[in-house]
Structure 1
Amino acid sequence: MPGGRVAVIGGSITGCAFALAAVRGGADEVTVYERTTGELADRGVGIALQVDRYAELVDAGYIDDSTPWRIVTNRKWFLDDGTSPRGRVVWDQPHAFRVYNWGQLWQGLRRRVPAEVEYRGGTPVTVDDAGRVCLPDGTREHYDVVIGADGYGSAVREAVFPSAVPQFSGYVMWRGSCVWEHEPIDHLISICLPNAQGVMYRIPGSVGDRMSWGLYTAITGTGDPRPDLLAQTRKYYPPFWADLVTGTPERDTLIQPINDLVVDAYTSGRTVLAGDAATIARPHVASGAVKALQDAVAFEAACRAAGPGGSWDDVLARYQAERHPAGAALVRVARSMGYAMVEHTPDWAAMTPDLMERWWAAQNPDDGFGGHAIGASISAR
């Protein structure tokens, strides 16, 4: 790495991973700016890591078994048949993932950030078109590289690519988590709904387990959509799963617009975009956290490849060449999945396991579902 000063804007999962990558890559000084204070640890929604991608990230030194997790070995697609409380299983699909509590996964990464990194919580900043960091008191800090790791509403992306605006898919995800007091389950639940989809899986909580759930669906009107979402859940979910969703306190839920975005480039001058700041892929592809962590692995590898005294231009060119095509590919397969699983769903009652397998294959899941493998060219260790 050329050394120098690196600023990371955003201190969540992506930001912590990039702070670690920058230190390992040889930066002389790394500062993380996070606009919130301590509430990041309280986010209790679920995160999934495909087991092969997890193993690669362990080898790269970004995660390990110290963070609580649960295993998912298969995915059961349930349809309300009017008789069974949990519904009829339309398809039992192999589905090997490790699932996490978002806050606990962030805490694990936060602990990995080296002590020499200055982590400034409660410090909202902006970035000008010259890549300078503008602090709340009006002062401007110059860094050799500024990394935008500030999520799907990225202020860094807006500064360097103002025309790159997330495109609304036409539907949202109502999501939350609730206490799970039933038997341990090692499968992901998919609820088959007309032009909508429900997903649920068990995650570790601070005390006991929780059930992380989400409902993808279009909403109408401009007021609070929760009454419509509750009504849809009660109408189409099997009653056992419906009770879990509708019984979740509103404070434990949120409504997330589902967007698509591919920026023209992951770099601009000395500014780097990472994670959802660079590419927004619909969550159906189950690779958001993987993509962010792989971005960090690629950045570290690019720094190492440049070597002491190398140029930042070379580092950023390597990062761009590796990660921009990978992000664009994930967006394409995520759109395909959204079309099939939410926008134009099949007649679920007529589906058989064979038909489900063909329907799934038509979505091209091998093009990125669960994330792409880390290539030998970006192996960082």
Structure 2
Amino acid sequence: MNRKLRIGVIGGGIGGAALTASLQQWGMEAHLFERTAAFREVGAGVQMTPNAVKVLKALGLDGELQRLGYLPQAIVGRNWRTGREKFRTPLSDACPQLFGAEFYHLHRADLLAMLIGLVDARFITHNARCVSVLNLDGKAVARFDNGEQFEADVIVGADGVHSVVRDALFGDEAPRFTGHICWRAAIALGERSDFISPVSAVWLGPNGHVVTYTISGGRVLNIVAVSEAADWQEASWHLPSNRDELLRTFSGWHPDLLRILSCAQNVLKWGLFDRDPMQRWSQGHITLLGDAAHPMLPFLAQGAAMAIEDGYVLASVLAANAGDIPEALRLYEDERLPRTSRVQLSARERGKIYHLPTPWQQFRRDVRYRFNALMNPHACGLEANWVFSYDATAFSPPAGETRPFGG
């Protein structure tokens, strides 16, 4: 093609911002449409595992990661009642050697700001609520609630688990409530050195678990607490909560954990929803990315990471196949669908392992953790070597001739 590809990205979350930044650095005309008046991220912390950090570094964010991120020494699993250590997976020293990049803890707002900072502000539109998309005469069109529309070579739905773009392509099918409720909260540490830990702690209990880890360069403690529930009756998928509800839910857990929960601030709760893996994400010149394509439970800490990988791979296939959009989207699906499907299903399974309800089941799991740790400390706990070792920046589209990144 003699002109730049024109691409519309629906949704200004982490996945949409990562995609738009990648497309623009490939020299494409990428427009980002966000339905709210300002970019915002609900929830405090996000774990950027080595597979995602490789992409962020390729985008030029190494310095920002070092400035705003936190490098945990390890992930440590603990018993919910006794506090006894069940597994320890080294991170800060091991990840660069084993996987080629670091493992960072970040504030979600910091991560989003980093990515938005890479996007040309002239191509960002706020208060743009997409109501429909369609393929029309070899193009894609997005329509918005103010009556305006945007025509492009490609439209990408990065608009989350309740995706308008997905519904337009594949029908309005509600996501499945997974039987989990998640509380997120934070503690501004200030001078409270007693809460600062160099590790990410995972408290494993019957029918629930709690994760605590430091973000914002060590200034904030992030809390993610998950408990099982029969249903989710609320009209909204996330709601304000409070520390009293959090403490009631985890009553009887270890005193150290309850001391942390008793200081929780800005408590929110979610019903966790997901979907089964899809057979395809694209129709014509329209495709999906991130949670719109593969919403997943947070138990492998891969929701944002998968969206970031998606964005990099999609940008590379579009750059290499600008003259054949359907082929580019086929290559994108061929590369990403098997991986994201495996991560979706593995995250579900990890939730079951973390939440084993009986002492006997927990004992058998913990024995396996100890045995695996003797062989390889990265073979216990997360058991995510296959996730972390992937490198989206090494993906080479099989068709066409690519330009150097940023060219």
Name the TM tier (shorter chain): 0.7 to 0.9
Report deviation, 1:328.
Answer: 0.7
Alignment map for 1:1-381 (pairs within 5 Å): 3-27=4-28, 29-38=29-38, 40=40, 43-51=42-50, 53-54=52-53, 56-61=54-59, 63-67=61-65, 68-81=68-81, 87-95=83-91, 96=95, 97-115=103-121, 117-130=122-135, 131-162=140-171, 165-180=174-189, 181-183=192-194, 184-204=196-216, 209-220=219-230, 222=233, 229-236=246-253, 238-249=254-265, 251-306=266-321, 310-342=323-355, 347=360, 350=363, 354-357=367-370, 365-366=383-384, 368-370=386-388, 372-374=390-392, 376-378=394-396, 381=405
What TM-score, normalized to structure 2?
Answer: 0.80
Change (3 A) 1:346 1:278: farther
Of the structure 1 ranges 224-233 and 322-331, higher mean CA displacement relative to structure 2 is found in 224-233
Instruction: Supply the AA of the counterpart residue of 1:10.
Output: G
Per-residue CA deviation, residues 90-110 of structure 1 (Å, 9 max, x unaligned), is: 333324521100000100001
Query: Helix, strand or coil for the counterpart of 1:173?
Result: strand
- What SS is found at the alignment partner of 1:66? helix
Deviates more, 1:62-71 or 1:292-301: 62-71
Q: What does residue 100 of structure 2 align with? A: none
- The structure-2 alpha-carbon separation of the partners of 1:57 and 1:78, relative to structure 1 and needing over 3 Å to count, comes to same
Separation (CA, whole Å) in 2 of partners of 1:111 and 1:247: 33
| Aligned partners of 2:51 and 2:390 also within 8 Å | no
Contiguous gaps of at least 5 residues in structure 2: 96-102, 374-378, 398-403
Counterpart-to-counterpart distance in 2, 1:12 and 1:232: 30
Contact 2:356 2:362 in 1 (8 A): no
Deviations 1:327-380 (A, max 9, x none): 111112112211211255664874796532458959993475457333733487
Indicate the percent of aligned positions where both proteins have the same amino acid.
22
Specify the code of the residue in structure 1 equivalent to 2:182: M
Q: Is the 8 A contact 1:258 1:282 kept in 2?
A: yes
Name the SS for the 1:112 alignment partner: coil
- Three-state SS of the structure 1 residue aligned to 2:340 is helix
Q: Spell out, residue by residue over 1:187-228, the C-alpha distance to the aligned partner (whole angstroms, 9 max, x if none).
A: 1111121121111101117xx611111111112574798766
* Cα drift, residue 162 of structure 1: 1.4
2:355 counterpart SS class: helix
Q: Following TM superposition, by how much is the alpha carbon of 1:311 offset from its aligned partner in structure 2, in angstroms?
A: 1.8
The structural deviation recorded for 1:318 is 1.5
Contact 1:333 / 1:368 at 8 angstroms: preserved in 2?
A: no
Report if aligned partners of 1:17, 1:62 keep a CA contact under 8 Å in 2.
no
CA distance in 2, matches of 1:230, 1:39: 31
Q: Which amino acid aligns with 1:192?
A: L
Counterpart AA for 1:158 = D
When residues 378 and 230 of structure 1 are mapped into structure 2, their CA distance, relative to the original with a 3 A threshold, is farther
> Secondary structure in 2 aligned to 1:70?
coil
Distance 1:37 1:261, change over 3 A: farther
| Contact persistence 1:157–1:164 (CA under 8 A) | no
Offset of residue 266 of structure 1: 2.1
RMSD: 3.0
Question: What residue identity is the alignment partner of 1:215?
Answer: A
Unmatched 5+ stretches in structure 1: none
Q: Distance in 1 between matches of 2:107 and 2:19?
A: 20
What number of residue pairs does the alignment pair up?
Answer: 367
Residues 160-196 of structure 1: per-residue CA shift (max 9 Å, x gap): 1115542222212122212232254221111121121
Q: Check 1:197–1:370 CA distance in 2 against 1; reply closer, same or farther (3 A cut).
A: farther
CA contact (8 A) 2:205 2:357 kept: no
Change in Cα spacing, 1:23 to 1:328, as seen in structure 2 (3 Å) is: same
